[in-house]
Amino acid sequence: MAMVVLLWLCASLPWLTVSMRMDRLAQLRQDTVDMFYHGFSNYMKHAFPEDELRPLTCSPLTRDRNDPSRVELNDALGNYSLTLIDSLSTLAILAGGPQDGPYTGPQALSDFQDGVAQFVAHYGDGRRGRSGEGSRARGFDLDSKVQVFETVIRGLGGLLSAHLFAVGELPISGYDPKPMPRSNDDKDDHDEDDPLQLAPIAWPNGLQYDGQLLRLALDLAERLLPAFYTRTGIPYPRVNLRTGIPFYVNSPLHWSSSGQNGQTRLDGDRLEITETCSAGAGSLTLEFTVLSRLTGDSRFEHAAKRAFWEVWQRRSEIGLIGNGIDAEQGLWIGPHSGIGAGMDSFFEYAFKSHILLSGHDMPNVTSPTTATKTRLDPNSLHGPLPRELHLSDTFLQAWREAHASVKSHIYTNRSHFPYYSNSHRATGQPYTMWIDSLGAFYPGLLALAGEVEEAIEANLVYTALWTRYSALPERWSIRENNVEPGIGWWPGRPEFIESTYHIYRATQDPWYLHVGEMVLRDIRRRCYAPCGWAGLQDVRTGEKQNRMESFFLGETAKYMYLLFDPDHALNKLDAAYVFTTEGHPLIIPKGHGPRASLRQLQKQRSVKEKKRKKKKVQGLASASQEARHEEEHLFINTCPAPPVLLDPLTGSSTAARPDLFGVSRFTNLYNTPNIHGPMLQVVVPDSDNKRLVTKYRPLSNHTLFPWTLPPTMLPPNGTCVAPMQRIISAIEFPASDAATSLLSRFGASLTWHSYLGPTAKSLEGLRLQLEREFSDRHGDYVWKITHAGNTQLGRQESVFFHGEHVRQLRDEAFTALRQQDLVEVHLLVDVNPPHTFSETNQHKNDTPASQQKTCPSSSSSSPPHLLANDNEPEHKKESSPPFHALQALPPESLLKHLFRAVTSAFDPSETSSPNSQSHSSGQSSPPKTVLYAWQALSSVGPGSHPLPTVLDSPLPDSPGYNAQDPMSHLPWENIYLGGQACHAALPESAPQDNQVIVLQRGGCPFSQKLDNIPSFSPGAESLQLVIVVDEVQDQYHDEDGDNDDDDIDGDDDYGADSSAPPHAEPLPRPLLETEQRTPTGAKRLYDIPLVLMRVGKGEYELFGRARGVGLRSKYAIQSQGLLIENAIVL
């Protein structure tokens, strides 16, 4: 008998722990349905047709017309029954779920259809005739000034999603909408080619649904179009649904026929603020694209995509977008960057636009682009969008770049559990020390994009915070380890449960079901009100708000229900559908079957035309794909498998993670009393009432989270890693006096030339703080400079030192070590020689090297970079360096950033060439010179020889640089170009009369090239160095030396990094496998040093018109025997 019991336990235990029991899931679903209907029924009873419900007083909440400054209320509440619109898609989802109780299945479907009927009765059916007049308004003809973003995601998204459910494009189990046959009279009344006239579907409540919500959505969207009338394409933040944008006096919409702005206000109010945010401007693509595809009106899709790309092209050099942006000027307002409020849904729509557009044709690009009084089209202000910017893959590329920048500069894991900080947009430096609740969406987005491990890690922080506060505070201070004062509310936001839902779908880990259970039980305990669900004004005290936001029913309840219904039809839908940032499911229909419009029902597209368009789109997509082919391996292209379950008896890989205590420690959860555990009953006196009262005191703090997690899900021998101990060091360079030391502490010895970090102008009094970290790149512990002076550096920032300042330092705290395998080659070149480069190379059909885009190098070699232009006019001194110098290296290469910093910051003042004198107007001007730099690798093997000992060639504006005579820094003037030097010996004069011989790689081994150099007598004027160049061919360029982007329509540059060439293979150090010999076979008496470097096509010829060559040593910095990883020696 005992054996039978043991076998039964072994068989049943996995079922008890691997997943939540079905009856428990059913109960949680029913509790969620009850929660939704408690809010929805009370809204319909006490608040409809107003926008929202006051749950504490059982009254409606509407706009504050007496105080327009209350944007937190007026931006969203447009007087068009907002909560009903936001709730329709939730009702449709409940209608498609199992009939666990009285409110799901047929009842929810009936409520959905009744909700549509009531909305149509109040606002009309969207037609021009009498049926378009509702009891409350004709469509959205309302005197309401609303925020464009909120109106799109709540109003427009809600209408479109409900329409897609109504016509069957989104699934509702048991609902099969069949169009009614049309009579001849009906056919005469309606245009069968009109996509807005759908075949009617008869509903039991008497409504014949024929696209009423779609027509109303079009009416609403057209009323939003005036906001897009800006010079930048970035929409204004607000619009009046009736009068448009009279308060934005600078809008081109108000220009007269002559094109001049009258600067006249129509309402006499103060000037309106034109600041919008990245999320508000860039998170419109999903709703507007679906609307355009359903109606055949491309205005909305084009305007929304243009706004997205206009924001994206303004990202900083490190790829970060800001928060506030001026719609008229296109300039960022403030330096703040992050993933939270003001920026959140921009990332979301980048990736979800890729999903939504996948597998669909290009949008209509032939629709009219001229505006009339009755048909506004803001796209008429701009040229057409490039075709590439309509493609799904281009949005995917934007997401990948945005995610990479966030991971590099926003993601923070230094000395504590990882989280996403708020950083400086331009530099990545820490900006604010708090986490906001809106950022809780990001883990769910990561899960959708296949970044599951990062998603799980990120979601742990929000789970621990919810466990601590039984809600998610609007802002949580990392520095104070507590809620930000005065910003501790939770208005029922859905972001946390949204991410929990998406991660559960990706992992099937039951841990997330218990997280959802925790959220549901906390809401029911803390937010219940007589007539709905109240938000929390302070998550610490439990003070309630007298407001039920529409998104509580539209998002929070929806995601929670779908989490507890794994078999819902929407969870099983194999199609490119997305949830908007307001939680409304959207899809672009394929246009087949009885759910299509009359035109789609009765006409079929030409197969030939369809194939032609498909081929055209595929051609554009393949061009984009080829340009990025070499980078694909860097990204996740398929959904990863769920995390490996190390202990199948526990059923949860998340509960077994060794870093759970790190999260608890980071959020101070382990010091928070657990009110859900054992309690101690204590009787204490009540001084106010002069009596004894009974109180309960928790006997323990939180150790596990969520607090609903059953102990059976914990691993039997689970352990957590010990907190990492911070090892910090400080370096302070001596100062000549106290004043210098004080000024250095405030940054006087530092200067910021670029986003890469500060450059030390002087070491005097400079103070550095270092922290020891493990470097995956070096496979060992290294130091990272975290503070320079009083400034905290960003994660990717470095501190740059001039080699002239540090190369002699040999101290235990700060030592400069010369790199033996790497050297920098400097080349001074005439820009306008007597015979131009193009004239001397016409037979090769080459363009000047200064116009070439060069192939990228490895981390140990680089193409040339323009360091100085000795005759550049003063008005160009602050401009960016030449294009080829900036595009020479891949985006993630530190060398690219380093040389960008050098080229943009160290241009000298205007000088003449060394031998120039004053010239009369009749004489030719002196040749202009520029200084280039490559990184080169020294040789190895039996035939290798140390590099010559010469003074380092200084960088422009570095200590010792002479801008009046740049040639004075370069030791070698005579250069010989010897080709490949494989088949015959070079002339005797080549090594005797030239100090540098430049050879081309290939054709024979490096040793053979040196063997073909005749013997010579060593001297200052004879051979000192052989440079072998690996010249990249023009496989990435067309015959004109230009990028193959000419087939992309449009004149605007939206910042796509399509010009970046694929990664080249790293260069090895050149191997000289035999001892050096002369052409006669004799052993060479004086060996020749050799270096190898990579150059672009045509840049080998640069040496033919060079005026001088020099070398500059490369150094690494160590402290206490460890490398300082982000100390860069220029």
Q: Which residues are catalytic?
A: 150, 344, 474, 495
- In single-letter form, the type of residue at position 1064 comes to A
Are the beta carbons of 64 and 74 closer than 8 angstroms? yes
Order of strands across the sheet that contains 728-732: 728-732, 767-775, 780-788, 791-792
Of the candidates 334, 341, 329, 337, the one whose C-alpha atom is nearest the C-alpha of residue 274 is 329
C-alpha torsion sign, points 1006, 1010, 1012, 1013? positive
496/463 Cα distance (integer angstroms): 8
- The answer to whether residues 531 and 509 touch, using CB atoms and an 8 Å cutoff, is no
- The answer to whether 1020 and 1039 are in contact (CB under 8 A) is no
Residue (of 497, 488, 429) closest to 463 by Cα position: 497
Among 696, 698, 675, CA closest to 469 = 675
SS (H, E, C) 372-421: CCCCCCHHHHCCCCCHHHHCHHHHHHHHHHHHHHHHHHHEECCCCCCEEC
Could you tell me if 1124 and 783 are in contact, meaning their C-beta atoms sit under 8 angstroms apart?
yes
Q: Residue 787 forms beta bridges with which residues?
A: 769, 792
Find out whether the peptide bond into 882 is cis, omega within 30 degrees of 0.
Answer: no
Omega before 49 within 30 of 0, i.e. cis: yes
Residue 646 burial (10 A CB sphere; 0-12, 13-18, 19+)? exposed
Q: Which residues of 65-95 are buried (b: 16+ CB within 10 A; e: fewer)?
A: eeeeeebebbbbbbbbbbbbbbbbbbbbbbb
> Can you tell me whether residue 812 is helix, strand or coil?
coil
Rounded Cα distance between 139 and 730, Å, is 67
How far apart CA 107 and CA 112 sit, in angstroms, is 9
For residue 552, what is the DSSP state? I
SS (H, E, C) 500-527: HHHHHHHHCCCHHHHHHHHHHHHHHHHC
The residues, ordered by sequence, that sit 6+ positions from 18 with a Cβ below 8 Å of its Cβ are 510, 648, 651
- Are 807 and 902 in contact, with CB atoms under 8 Å apart? no
Strand ordering across the sheet containing 430-432: 336-337, 422-424, 430-432
Burial 610-631 (b: 16+ CB within 10 A, else e): eeeeeeebeebbebbeebbeeb
| Token output for 237 | 């933040």
SS3 category, 1117: strand
Phi, psi of 94 (to 5 degrees): -65, -35
- What is the distance between the alpha carbons of residues 581 and 446, in angstroms, rounded to a whole number? 14
DSSP state of 313: T
> Encoding tokens for residue 271?
């000037």
1041 conformational bin, left if phi > 0, alpha if psi -120 to 50, beta if neither: left
Residue 331: CB atoms within 10 A of its CB come to: 12
CA neighbor of 770 nearest in space, from 263, 298, 1126, 389: 1126
Find where tokens 């300042």 sit. Answer: 805
Q: Is 581 marked as a binding-site residue?
A: yes
Please enumerate, by residue number, every residue annotated as part of a binding site for Ca(2+): 581
Please enumerate, by residue number, every residue annotated as part of a binding site: 581
